[in-house]
Chain A
Amino acid sequence: MEILMIILSGILVTCGVYLILSKSLLRIIIGSSIISHAVNLLLLTSGGLKKGASPIYEKHQQVYADPIPQALILTAIVISFAVTAFFLVLAFRSYKELGTDNISDYKGVPDDE
């Protein structure tokens, strides 16, 4: 199962990177969301996917799923949500301000000197 999850994450990263390299701003945001999904999966896999009980303490239970990656992923989900939300509003604003969502038109302006 772990190998399968790792390969799945690899494929998600591939698609995410492909989307990030494209021209449309929305596709870039979608790509970054996909990559954060892939990272979360990798985190979970790194703890091992051995079947144990959910990490909720019970008296006679011995084997649990690893709680640390879960705590890490929980933090990561919230942060990536915050970033995605900000990114979306930013995209919306820059479209309003610049009139395009084509990333290849977003170029730095050389200094006057």
Chain B
Amino acid sequence: MILWIVLLPFIAALLPVVIQKQFSKIHTGWFVLPVPVIASLFFISKLSNINPPFFESHRWMPSIGLNLNFKIDGIGLLFALLISIIGALVVFYSIHYLSHREELGKFYTYLLLFMGAMLGVVLSDNILALYMFWELTSISSFLLISFWYVKARSIQGALKSMLITVFGGLMLLGGIAILITITDTTSITEMINQSSTIQQHPLFPLALILVLLAACTKSAQFPFHIWLPDAMEAPTPVSAYLHSATMVKAGIYLVARLTPIFAVSAIWTYSLIFIGLFTMCFASIKAVNQKDLKGVLAFSTISQLGLIMSLLGLGSFAFSNQFKEMYIIAITASVFHILNHASFKGALFMTVGIIDHETGTRDIRKLNGLLTMMPVTFTMSCLGLLSMAGVPPFNGFLSKEMFITAVLNVVNHAMSSHLILSIIALLLMFIGSMFTFIYCIKLLKDIFFGHPKDNTSEKPPHEAPLLLLVSPIVLITMMLIISIVPNVFLPLLTAATASITNQHVDVAHIHHFHGINSPLLITLAIIVFGALLVATYQHWSKLYSVLPERFSLNHGYDFLLKHSQTTSKSINQFLVFKTIRFSMSAILVTLILMTVYVFINHSVAINFKSLSTIQPYEMILVGIILIATIMILKAQSRLFSIIMLSAIGYSIALLFVFFNAPDLALTQLAIETISTALFLMCFYHLPKQYRHKESATFKLTNFVIALLAGICVTVIALAAYSNKLYPSIADYYIKHVYDLAAGKNMVNVILVDFRGFDTLFESSVLGIAGIGIYTLIRLRQNRGEHNEKTK
């Protein structure tokens, strides 16, 4: 059943393009809407019985361990609910948001593809299947960001997100490969059962870092957050769905899912805490001076994701510390905040979409005083922003309280021996929370209050149609329900926490008011300081221009991208467009270096057991060959060098005579004569100038390379000759040449009988060369005429 729920979006993704063509009158989204609704109903029906977890397995490729095994437990169900319910709301919203003129078929295909992939990620118990769905989310996100592909910025944003998330995806693949090698299983449940074995393995830290990289790139943690603001070029329903509620939480899901394996390690805990806190702080500061509404929301998403990451890190202390309950609160808080963030951030993106839709701009400087014109939008934005800011009594306040409590717990107990780390953690937490408050309130103040600027906006602003408002209203209502009666969701939160920590937990109720304690005081301080800073924003906003653009991470990314292209291009040009001599030298130098390497690293015995005696007439021939060779090197005329070449050839033929090879001698004589004739024939056509001017260094390098190559060949031949390991098989041929093959000339019998295939193909080579030469000459005449015509 789970298989069909996961496959349903993929199957449905085949249809929208057809539907848009067939039923162009009705918005395609109406046909898509049932898919997430069915999925939501299915997952809601599972709410009551997730303890113990529900398993389902389907064989796919058992030989490599890739099976479609699914598991529904607390955390998986929480994510699946978010994906399907927000998916349904986003589809409903986009029905009214996107006009008929858009390529709706494509849009819904990509969206359904993404939905299926995301459900696959959160429900897979097979880690290879998880990876597969993980990459599918990257691809569908790429397609959705570049939906308006005529805009250059869309393409750039899509490319950036693709490069960064696929980089992370490949890291994940590496981590997965290590985990599979250690545990010899692809089931995540099995891996968690074997976590103690994994933790003792030497590759454990590497797997940890790789998985962490994957999670940080997908969930836009510092310094990989840069793709998320650029992904805002996507249509707003996509931003609401992918880049606030679901895909960016895939990294969080991965961290939560693998926490039982990695949490014992201090690297895991501390890097999660500090990457998370730093990202939260950094992104909230950046969010304050954004000019684009979606830019603010993008940075705020990054910041909130950092908060959730750090909560998971804080909760990891439960695995390595004695006071379990105290740290498990942090994990509950992270799960709670995932829920909260999905509710208010989805709604905020949708309201931003509405403002964009109704006023024609997303620029904060052009929007003002929308309060009276768009009261419903204002109410929703106000509630969402206040919740995000952590103002009581909304749900953002509840999870922020839990966050502060978790940080204080860890600082007081687990990290009490590291004073500097504690101070940094507290400071990051305070500044991050304060700036979160600042950008929320500033956004509210800038857009909705003040005097309306009629002349700047393209359309007269007015309230959105009711149907467009439905989805954000539903989300805001959900948010309000969580705010007012948070304990309704407690069973789900407890189940999710239990499945992350892999043990039974009982969590106390979530309270609005704990009495006057340090978290409450910190929240009050945040609100007071934040309010002061919002009021005085004009005076300190100049601080943002202190750091020049050159040092930003985006600049670094552009720099890397540009230079990787130019560098590879210049390397390519350096290597490919050089002269042939350069390539030849490279090949020869490689040969020389490899020979030297082999002879240095392996002792090669050189001994000569069976040497034949040197005859004087052979000496004379060797002398002739040597003299002729030297003469060729020095020759100034072509004719002379050709004659010297044939001298070498004929001397070698004579050597063949002395070495008892009559067939060779015959062939060599004949061939040498023909080649000399050929060379001489070519002279008639080749230029008069035989040698081109070569500089002294040119000659010297050539000489050095040639000498070394010659020495290498000599040494290899000597070593090979003195190390004969086996007797020759020639005895067989010699013995059986007459009785098996009925011939007396052994060389000829070998050529046409024992090894006849060689001869067959040697003849083909000759034939092909003949045809080639003929073609070359014919081609010359045809092309020559043609060239003359064109000239």
Task: Return chain A residues, CB-CB under 8 Å to B710.
Answer: 10-11, 13-15, 17
> B775: nearest residue on chain A (CB-CB)?
A89
Whether the Cβ atoms of A93 and B776 lie closer than 8 Å is yes
Distance between Cα atoms of A4 and B641 in the complex (Å): 24
B737 touching A57, Cβ below 8 Å = yes
Least Cβ distance of B91 to chain A in Å? 42
Contact A9 B746 (CB under 8 A): no
Chain A residues closer than 8 Å to B649, beta-carbon distance: 33, 37
Bound-complex Cα distance A80 to B675 (A): 10
Q: How far is the CB of B592 from chain A (nearest CB, A)?
A: 10
Closest partner residue, chain A, to B651 (CB atom): A37
Question: Which residues of A lie under 8 Å from residue B608 when comparing CB positions?
Answer: 2-3
Which chain A residues in 70-89 approach chain B with CB under 8 Å? Answer: 70-71, 73-75, 77-79, 81-86, 88-89
Bound CA–CA A42/B682 (angstroms): 30
Residues on B with beta carbons closer than 8 Å to the beta carbon of A20 = 584
Q: Counting CB contacts under 8 A, is B707 at the interface?
A: yes
Query: Are the C-beta atoms of B765 and A45 separated by less than 8 Å?
Result: no
Residues of B contacting A26 in the complex (Cβ-Cβ under 8 angstroms): 638, 641, 682, 686, 690
Q: Is B528 an interface residue (CB 8 A)?
A: no
| Cβ 8 A contact of B675, one of A17, A19, A85 | A85
Contact with B along A46-87 (1 / 0, CB 8 A): 111111111111100000111110110111011101111110
Indicate whether A74 sits within 8 Å of B721 (C-beta atoms), given known contacts A33-B645, A92-B682, A107-B577: no
* Contact indicator A74/B629 (Cβ below 8 Å): no
Distance from B44 Cβ to chain A, minimum over Cβ atoms (Å): 55
Stretch at the interface among B152-160, B266-274, B409-417, B755-763: B755-763
Q: In the bound complex, do residue A1 and residue B750 qualify as a contact, i.e. CB atoms below 8 Å apart?
A: no
| Cα distance A70–B749 in the bound complex, in angstroms | 12
* A contact residues around B588 at 8 Å (CB): 17
- Which chain B positions have C-beta within 8 A of A75? 751, 758-759, 762
Min CB–CB distance B763 → chain A (angstroms): 8
Residues of B within 8 A of A64 (CB): 660, 734, 746
**Given A13-B710, A21-B706: A103 in contact with B611 (beta carbons within 8 A):** no
Chain A residues, CB < 8 A from B132: none
**Known contacts being A66-B730, A68-B733, A78-B667, is A46 close to B632, with CB within 8 Å?**
no
Report the bound CA distance from A75 to B663 in whole Å.
Answer: 11
Q: How large is the interface on B (under 10, 10 to 19, 20 to 34, 35 or more residues)?
A: 35 or more
User: Contact: B734 with A55, CB < 8 Å?
Assistant: yes
A82 CA / B770 CA spacing, docked (Å): 8
Contact mask for chain B residues 601-634; partner A; CB cutoff 8 A; 1 contact, 0 none: 0000000101111110011001001100110110
- Mostly, the A contact residues are helix
A2, B585: Cβ atoms closer than 8 Å = no
Query: Interface with A: B137-145, B374-382, B712-720, which one?
Result: B712-720
* Residues of B contacting A34 in the complex (Cβ-Cβ under 8 angstroms): 629, 632, 645, 648
Cβ of B692 within 8 Å of any chain A Cβ, yes or no, is yes
Q: Which residues of B in the span 700-733 have a Cβ within 8 Å of any Cβ on A?
A: 702-703, 705-707, 709-711, 713-714, 717-718, 720-721, 728-730, 733
Once the chains bind, are B648 and A37 in contact (CB under 8 Å)? yes
Contacts of A102 in B (CB 8 A): 692
Nearest CB to that of B622 among chain A residues? A8
CB pair A66–B728 under 8 Å, yes or no, is yes
> Given A30-B641, A42-B717, does the pair A67, B746 have CB atoms closer than 8 Å?
yes
Answer yes or no: B580 CB below 8 A from chain A CBs.
Answer: yes
B773 at the interface (CB under 8 A from A): yes
What is the distance, in angstroms, from A6's C-beta to the closest C-beta of chain B? 5
A52 CB, min distance to chain B CBs, angstroms: 7
**Complex CA distance for A26 and B660, rounded to whole angstroms:** 33
Q: Which of A25, A66, A96 has the most CB of B within 10 A?
A: A66
Evaluate contact between A83 and B769: CB separation under 8 angstroms. yes
B713 touches A9 (CB 8 A): yes
Contact among B682, B686, B714 for A9, CB-based, below 8 A: B714
Known: A8-B622, A46-B721. A14 touches B707 (CB 8 A): yes
Q: Which residues 743-791 of B have a CB within 8 angstroms of A?
A: 743-747, 750-751, 755, 758-759, 762, 765-766, 768-770, 772-773, 776-777, 779-780, 783-784
CB distance from B770 to the nearest CB of A (A): 8
B773 with A67: CB separation less than 8 A: no
Residue pair A37, B652 in contact (C-beta under 8 Å): yes
Judging by beta carbons under 8 Å apart, are B766 and A55 in contact? no
Distance in angstroms between the alpha carbons of A25 and B686 in the assembled complex: 10
User: Measured between alpha carbons, how far is A111 from B748 in the docked complex, in Å?
Assistant: 52
Q: Is the CB–CB distance between A74 and B618 below 8 Å?
A: no
In the bound complex, residues from chain A placing their C-beta under 8 Å from that of B744 are 56-58
- Please determine whether B675 and A81 come into contact, CB atoms closer than 8 angstroms: yes
CA distance A102 to B769 in the complex (A): 24
Which residues from chain A contact B745 at a C-beta distance below 8 Å? 55-57
Q: Is B102 an interface residue (CB 8 A)?
A: no
- Knowing A15-B632, A21-B705, the reply to whether A70 touches B661 (Cβ < 8 A) is yes
CB distance from A48 to the nearest CB of B (A): 6
Q: How far is the CA of A101 from the CA of B596 in the complex (A)?
A: 35
List, in ascending order, chain A residues with CB within 8 A of B675's CB.
33, 81, 84-85
- Cβ distance B676 to chain A, nearest Cβ, rounded Å: 10
A29–B123 alpha-carbon span in the complex (Å): 68
* Chain A residue nearest to B581 in the complex (CB): A21
24 A-B pairs with CB atoms under 8 Å apart are A8-B626, A9-B713, A15-B630, A17-B588, A18-B706, A21-B585, A23-B581, A29-B679, A33-B645, A33-B649, A34-B632, A37-B648, A40-B652, A44-B659, A50-B610, A50-B612, A68-B730, A74-B747, A78-B766, A88-B682, A89-B776, A93-B779, A101-B687, A110-B577
9 tightest CB-CB pairs across the interface, nearest first?
A14-B710, A10-B714, A82-B769, A18-B706, A67-B746, A55-B746, A17-B706, A57-B744, A23-B692
Known: A1-B612, A68-B729. 12 other contacts (CB 8 A): A9-B714, A14-B709, A18-B706, A30-B642, A33-B675, A41-B652, A67-B747, A74-B664, A75-B751, A95-B685, A97-B783, A106-B580
